[in-house]
Chain A
Amino acid sequence: MKKLVVVGNGMAGVACVEQILKQGHEFEITIFGDETHVNYNRILLSTVLAGEKSADDIVLNGIDWYRDNGIRARLGVRVEHIDRARRLAIGNDGAAAPFDKLILATGSSAFIPPIQGVEKKNVHVFRTLDDTRDLIAKANKGIKAVVIGGGLLGLEAARGLQLRGCEVTVVHLMETLMERQLDATGGEYLRRKIESFGIRVLMPKRTQALVGNGRVDGLRFDSGEEIEADLVVVAAGIKPNIELAQKSGIEVRRGIVVNDHMQTSDPDIFAVGECTEHRGQTFGLVAPLMEQGKVLAGAIAGNRSLAFTGAQPAAKLKIMGVEIFSAGSIDESEPGIETVRYEDPALGIYKKLIVKENRLLGVILVGDASDERRYTQWLRDETDLAPHRRHLLFPPPEKDAGLEVAQMSDSKVICGCGGVTKGEIIHAIHEHGIQTLDDLKLKTRASASCGSCKGLCQQLLRAVAPEFQEETRTTLCSCVPFSYEQLRQIVRGQQLKSVQEVLNVYGNRKGCEVCKPALSYMLDMIWCGGHDEDRSARFINDRVHANIQKDGTFSVIPRMRGGVTSPDELRRIADVAEKYKVRMVKVTGSQRIDLLGVKKADLPRVWADLGMPSGQAYTKGVRMVKTCVGTEFCRFGVQDSTSAGIELERRLENLFTPHKVKMGVVGCPRNCAEATVKDIGMVGQDGSWQVVVGGAAGKSVRKADLLITVEKTEEALDACDLFFQYYRENANYLERTYDFVERLGIETIRKETVYAAEADKTKLRERLARSKATAKDAWLERDAPVHPTQFVLIEAIGAVRRQEVN
Chain B
Amino acid sequence: MREPNWIAITQVENIPPHEGRPVQVGGMELAVFNLGDRFAAVENECPHKGGPLCDGIVSGNVVVCPLHGWRFDLASGMAVRAPEPACVATFPARVVDGIVHVDLSGAGFSLQRRLEPPLRHGC
Q: Which A residues lie at the B interface, using CB under 8 A?
A: 479, 509-513, 516-517, 534-540, 543, 548, 550-552, 600, 787-789, 792-801, 804-806
Please, which residues of chain A bring their CB within 8 A of the CB of B66? 539-540, 548
With both beta carbons as reference points, the residue of chain B lying nearest to A553 in the complex is identified as B52
From A548, A600, A788, A794, contact of B67 by CB (8 A): A548
Beta-carbon nearest neighbor of B105 in chain A:
A804
Taking the nearest CB of chain A, how far is it from the CB of B77, in angstroms?
Answer: 17
**A601, closest chain B residue (CB):** B22
Instruction: Find residues 12-28 in chain B having any chain A CB closer than 8 Å to their own CB.
Output: 14-19, 21-28
B14 touches A805 (CB 8 A): no
Neighbour of A792 across the interface among B19, B21, B51, B52, CB < 8 A? B21
Q: Is B9 part of the binding interface, using a Cβ–Cβ cutoff of 8 Å? A: yes
Residues of A within 8 A of B104 (CB): 800, 804-805
Cβ of B83 within 8 Å of any chain A Cβ, yes or no, is no
Q: Chain A contacts of B62 at CB under 8 A?
A: 512
Query: A796, B23: Cβ atoms under 8 Å?
Result: yes
Are B7 and A513 interface neighbours, CB within 8 A?
A: no
Task: Please give me the residue from chain A that is nearest to B66 by CB atom.
Answer: A540
A536 touches B15 (CB 8 A): no
Cβ-neighbour of A805 out of B8, B64, B108 (below 8 A) = B108
Residue of A nearest to B60 (CB): A510
Which of A509, A511, A796, A800: most chain B CB closer than 10 A? A796
Which residues of A are found within 8 Å of B16, using beta-carbon distances?
Answer: 535-536, 787
**CB closest residue in chain A, given B58:** A536
Given contacts A551-B50, A793-B22, contact A513 B14 (CB under 8 A): no
- Contact A800/B10 with A512-B57, A512-B64 known, Cβ cut-off 8 Å: no
What distance in Å separates the Cβ of B20 from its nearest Cβ neighbour in chain A?
9
**Contact flags B70-110 to A (C-beta < 8 A → 1, else 0):** 00000000000000000000000000000101101101100
Q: A513-B56, A795-B25, A805-B27 are in contact. List 15 more A-B contacts (CB 8 A).
A: A516-B59, A536-B17, A540-B57, A540-B66, A548-B55, A552-B51, A552-B55, A789-B15, A792-B21, A793-B23, A794-B9, A796-B25, A800-B7, A804-B26, A805-B107
- The 11 listed contacts between A and B (C-beta, < 8 Å) are A539-B57, A540-B57, A550-B49, A552-B67, A787-B16, A789-B21, A797-B8, A797-B9, A797-B10, A800-B5, A804-B107
**Cα–Cα, bound, A535→B18 (Å):** 9
B interface residue numbers (CB < 8 A to A): 5, 7-10, 14-19, 21-29, 32, 49-52, 55-60, 62, 64, 66-67, 69, 99, 101-102, 104-105, 107-108
Q: CB-CB < 8 A to B57: which residues of A?
A: 512-513, 516-517, 536-540
Is A794 a contact of B59 with CB atoms below 8 Å?
A: no
A804, B55: Cα distance in complex, Å: 28
Closest Cβ neighbor of A347 among chain B residues: B81
* A796 touching B8, Cβ below 8 Å: yes
When chains A and B are docked, how far (Å) is the Cα of A793 from the Cα of B67?
Answer: 19
B29 partner residues in chain A, CB cutoff 8 A:
793
| Distance to closest chain B CB from A732 (angstroms) | 19
Contact with B21, one of A794, A801, A806 (Cβ below 8 angstroms): A794
Chain A residue numbers with a CB within 8 Å of B69 are 513
* Closest Cβ neighbor of B28 among chain A residues: A805
Residues of B within 8 A of A806 (CB): 108
Of A510, A787, A788, the contact of B59 (CB 8 Å cutoff): A510
Inter-chain CA distance A788–B12, complex, in Å, is: 12
Determine the chain B residues whose CB is within 8 A of the CB of A799 once the complex forms.
7
Min Cβ gap B22→A in Å is 5
Are A804 and B64 touching (Cβ within 8 A)?
no
Complex-state Cα separation, A517 to B59, whole angstroms: 12
Question: Which chain B residues border A534 with CB–CB below 8 Å?
Answer: 18
Q: Using Cβ atoms and an 8 Å threshold, which residues of chain B touch A550?
A: 49, 67
Q: Cα distance A123–B94 when bound, in Å?
A: 46
The residue in A552, A600, A788, A792 that gathers the most chain B C-beta atoms within 10 A of its C-beta is A552
Quick check: B49 and A793 within 8 Å, CB to CB? no
Contact indicator A796/B55 (Cβ below 8 Å): no
Q: Are A800 and B26 in contact (CB under 8 A)?
A: yes
Residue of B nearest to A806 (CB): B108
Q: Flag if A535 contacts B5 (CB, 8 Å).
A: no
Cα distance A660–B65 when bound, in Å? 22
B10 touches A796 (CB 8 A): yes
In the complex, which of the residues A794, A795, A801 contacts B5, with contact meaning CB atoms closer than 8 Å?
A: A801
Q: A residues within 8 A CB of B22?
A: 793-794
* Known contacts A801-B5, A805-B104; A796/B24 CB under 8 A: yes
Are B59 and A805 in contact (CB-based, < 8 A)?
no
Q: Which residues of B contact A538 (CB under 8 A)?
A: 57
Instruction: Provide the residues of chain A in CB contact with B52, threshold 8 Å.
Output: 548, 552
Q: How far is the CA of A68 from the CA of B7 in the complex (A)?
A: 81
Inter-subunit contact B23/A798 (CB<8 Å): no
Bound complex: CA A9 to CA B67 (Å): 59
Asked if B59 and A552 sit within 8 Å, CB to CB, the answer is no
C-alpha spacing A25/B108, complex, angstroms = 86
Give chain B residues whose Cβ lies under 8 Å from the Cβ of A510.
59-60
**Contact call A793/B24, Cβ cutoff below 8 A:** yes
B67 contacts across to A, CB distance below 8 A: 548, 550, 552
Contact of B24 (CB < 8 Å), options: A548, A794, A798: A794
Alpha-carbon distance between A797 and B50 when the two chains are bound, in angstroms: 26
- Which of A513, A535, A793, A797 touches B19 (beta carbons < 8 Å)? A535
